[in-house]
Amino acid sequence: MRSVEDDQIRTAMFAHLQRLTALHPEGIESKDINHFAVGGRPLKLVVQPGIWKPAALEAALTIRTSFTAPNQLPPYEDAIASGGLVAYAYRGTDPQHSDNRALRAAMQEQRPLAYFIGVAKGVYQAHFPVYVVAEQTAEQAFLVAIDEAQRLVDPDHVDALPVDRRSYLERLVRARLHQPVFRARVLQAYAKRCAICQLRHTDLLDAAHIVRDSDEGGLPVVPNGLSLCKIHHAAYDRNIIGVRPDLVIEVRKDVLREKDGPMLRHGIQEMAGVRLKVPTSRAARPTPERLEQRYEEFRAAP
């Protein structure tokens, strides 16, 4: 049975995370997430185990996916089930482990949880509310819905849905999980600045794919991403700006000859010959092979 205390804690947690996410959409430090209290009692939300149930509750409150190296896929990438549900692995192999029982209780009671995904060391994106909607005992995993529309679909009958409906559900995980996490990982690696002009206003920064995500090899990993301000992202996507494998920026020749206002002159034309500012971590730097592939597209553009 759902308790008043349980509802109060979850409601307060979501309000706390809503404030933090608005301030830090590129990722929240764990110390800020854990600066949380209910009724004057401190309560941590991010702890070492992936599944967390405070002693005061009967069901799990949060789940967590650890940070992975920039050149590796987020752990959930290979765990997307039909309908865009996320397969969240058991704690260990014993279905009756206390953490697994706590997550099962959240599933049975349909209690909302927060899902923390590591985007840098000690930095997380918070996704909430999420719901555990099914358990796959053979796979030793729970299925997590990250959107209300997924929650309302019977996971045992997803494959029987019309193709357009199933496609919609699977697009939700891209919009709610893949894209925000990719952006956060890239911006964290680039110290939250544009790699071309060094703009630091995170509201104006995007994570641009080097090899487009629709192309073969367009993986959502940091070495396939560039932190770019919105104007340079648009210019890069439209092959107005190109980046050579040696990290030097080129501007399309016809654009260099144009006469326009200060944005074109200072924002685009004067970037020709500038060297891209890349992360200090080698694992996060753009790979020459990806840059070469995209640069060839820039050179072939009309």
pLDDT tens figures, 170-207: 777 777 888 899 999 999 999 999 999 999 999 999 99
Region 18-22 average pLDDT = 97
Find the range with the poorest average confidence among 47-51, 129-133, 181-185.
Answer: 47-51
Q: What is the mean pLDDT of residues 23-48?
A: 94
Say whether pLDDT at 257 is over 60: yes
> CB-based burial of residue 97 (10 Å sphere; 0-12 exposed, 13-18 middle, 19+ buried)?
middle
Tokens for 284? 């996060």
Query: The tokens 């990290």 sit on which residue?
Result: 247
User: Mean pLDDT: which of 72-76, 121-125, 165-169 is highest?
Assistant: 121-125
pLDDT band at residue 13 under the 50/70/90 scheme: very high
Q: What is the mean pLDDT of the chain?
A: 91
Candidate from 89-98, 109-118, 146-155 with smallest mean pLDDT: 146-155
**What's the pLDDT band for 75 if we cut at 50, 70, 90?**
low
Given a contact cutoff of 8 angstroms between Cβ atoms, the answer to whether 91 and 100 are in contact is: yes
User: Helix/strand/coil (H, E, C) string of 141-196?
Assistant: EEEEECCHHHHCCCHHHHHHCCHHHHHHHHHHHHHHHHHHHHHHHHHHHCCCCCCC
- Would you say residue 108 has pLDDT above 80? yes
Mean pLDDT (whole number) for 282-288: 95
pLDDT at 128: 96
Question: Which tokens in the block code for residue 155?
Answer: 């996971």
**Which residues, 6 or more positions from 272, have their beta carbon under 8 angstroms from its beta carbon?**
249, 250, 251, 256
Tell me the pTM.
0.88
> What's the confidence (pLDDT) of residue 80?
76
Helix and strand numbers, DSSP H then E, in the chain: 10, 13
pLDDT at position 5: 87
Percent of the chain with pLDDT over 70: 98
Instruction: Tell me which H or E stretch contains 65.
Output: strand 62-65
CATH of 4-185, one of 1.10.10, 2.60.40, 3.40.50, 2.30.280: 2.30.280
- Does the pLDDT at position 76 exceed 70? no
pLDDT score of 254 more than 70: yes
pLDDT reading at 4 higher than 70: no
Domain spans, the chain:
4-185, 190-300
- Ranking 56-65, 215-224, 271-280 by mean pLDDT, the lowest is 215-224
pLDDT at 78: 56
pLDDT surpasses 60 at 115:
yes
Higher pLDDT pick, 124 / 217: 124
Residue 88 parent element (H or E): strand 86-89
Average pLDDT for residues 262-269, to the nearest whole number? 94
Whole-number pLDDT of residue 2 = 53
Residue 217 gets the label, from left (phi > 0), alpha (psi -120 to 50) or beta, of left
- Number of other residues whose CB lies within 10 A of the CB of residue 154: 11
